[in-house]
Amino acid sequence: MTQQTNPDSPEAQSGKEEAGLVIEGALILTMEEEQRTENGPFTGDIRIAGSRIDAVRAGDAGQTGLRRPGDEVIDGRGRVAMPGLINAHQHTPMSLLRGFSDDLKLMDWLERKMFPAEDRMTPDDIEAGARLAIAEMIRSGTTAFADMYIHMDRIAEAVSETGMRASLTRGLITAADDGGRRMREALELIDRCQGAADGRITTMLGPHSPFLCSPEALQEIAALAESRRIPVHIHLAETVEEVFLIRERHGRTPAEHLRELGIIGPRVHTLLAHAVHLTQGDIELLRGMRGGVSHNPVSNMKLGCGAAPVPDMLRAGITVGLGTDGAGSATTLDMFQEVRAAAWMHRLTAGDPTAFCAYRALRMATAGSAELLGLGGEIGTLTPGKKADVILIGLDRPHLQPVHDVYSLLAYAANGSDVETVVVDGRVLMRDRELTTLDEERVLREAAGIAARITAGI
């Protein structure tokens, strides 16, 4: 491993020394594609200057020459340093509905439980649910997420105050006429929040799904996304019922429908959530699209929706990331659970233990998800010049010893509770398992009271 230094850092530009943050002696996984084939994991130091990674260098702890006078030092010995995990599909306020409606079919789950409880949520409730989800995500090593819900201005406040990174989307259901209110709210969110929180907040347009949005609305959204250069975030082919409904209404698959309306293709960056029930023709149609697919294996298995054809998508060159979906369906927001579920699901469906490797699953949760959020040039790998979103995972516990293959160890044995330190945009959000930007006791107390109220009698 040769030294890598950010040429755009303040030091490189001005020659002046600026106090930074140095992680020393960690086992470093950059998650750059070439690391797997050329350098492999290595022990070394990482220096952060401001919000960006300044340098990554192999060597013994503190002997790499990266430390400067005034730098804060974090001891990385006995720990893995890797990019923060990125949750590519979430509904953060649904953390208030965790475990409320399990063991139901998707439409029963939505119509009998989720929708009635969500109708009772106030903007204050939504912000409290987002804070609960953010606390869980930080604690389990997630540093960025893509969210779709309502009252997104309140979720933006939670993101801004807690130091997280997020792509926010006002969910759009256009099957019933609302006089354009939802679309106005979506555009107001983009105008107000794009680039907010020192650039940690980005935005997308969020038509909920092909079956809850009219063709005319989807065409309008595609045109707006292209003209304003805003990505689109939409559910696609999550259930067999959706595929049947779209074919009955429009005579084509959901993917063909979105392609025809301009949502999928080379002109709009689109994040497709789920994409479980795709034909081989659909996969060919997605080949070359801008954006890609958020694979959500825990939610898909728990709701009995099926297994997305992820290996076929990857072979077709389609970008695939990982997401949890909301805690109302997935129960957990621990992205390590998604990594493990993805690897095991596709080995099982293929009947082949070589069909999906640990490294590929981890890369989907980092670099893959970063690409889906439109942030591949900024996050997802530990590359000098990129944003400093870094997590440290402690290896000094029985289930993470011995260390033969660290990729396999993290993919198949690690849990979110093994994450000790979380850095986002160069700021420490969790240090030695202690949250630094959230009053965790208050978050839990508020969430419990709200959850009891909104679910009473349903």
Tell me the pLDDT tens digit for each residue of 216-260.
999 999 999 999 999 999 999 999 999 999 999 999 999 999 999
Domains 4-83+382-432 and 85-372 share a fold: no
Which two tokens mark 43?
A: 């022990």
Higher pLDDT, 163 or 61: 163
Question: What are the backbone dihedrals phi and psi of residue 165, each rounded to the nearest 5 degrees, phi first?
Answer: -115, 135
- Average pLDDT of the chain? 94
- CATH homologous superfamily of 4-83+382-432 equals Urease, subunit C, domain 1 (2.30.40.10)
At 2 the pLDDT is 44
At 16 the pLDDT is 54
Residue 14 has pLDDT above 60, yes or no: no
Each residue of 376-401: pLDDT tens digit? 999 999 999 999 999 999 999 999 99
What is the pTM (predicted TM-score) of this model? 0.95
Parse the chain into domains and list their residue ranges: 4-83+382-432, 85-372
CATH topology of domain 85-372: TIM Barrel (3.20.20)
Residue 414 has pLDDT above 80, yes or no: yes
Each residue of 128-185: pLDDT tens digit? 999 999 999 999 999 999 999 999 999 999 999 999 999 999 999 987 778 889 999 9
At 238 the pLDDT is 96
Each residue of 101-129: pLDDT tens digit? 888 877 788 889 888 999 999 999 999 99
Using 50, 70 and 90 to split pLDDT, how confident is the model at 15? very low
Each residue of 419-430: pLDDT tens digit? 999 999 999 999
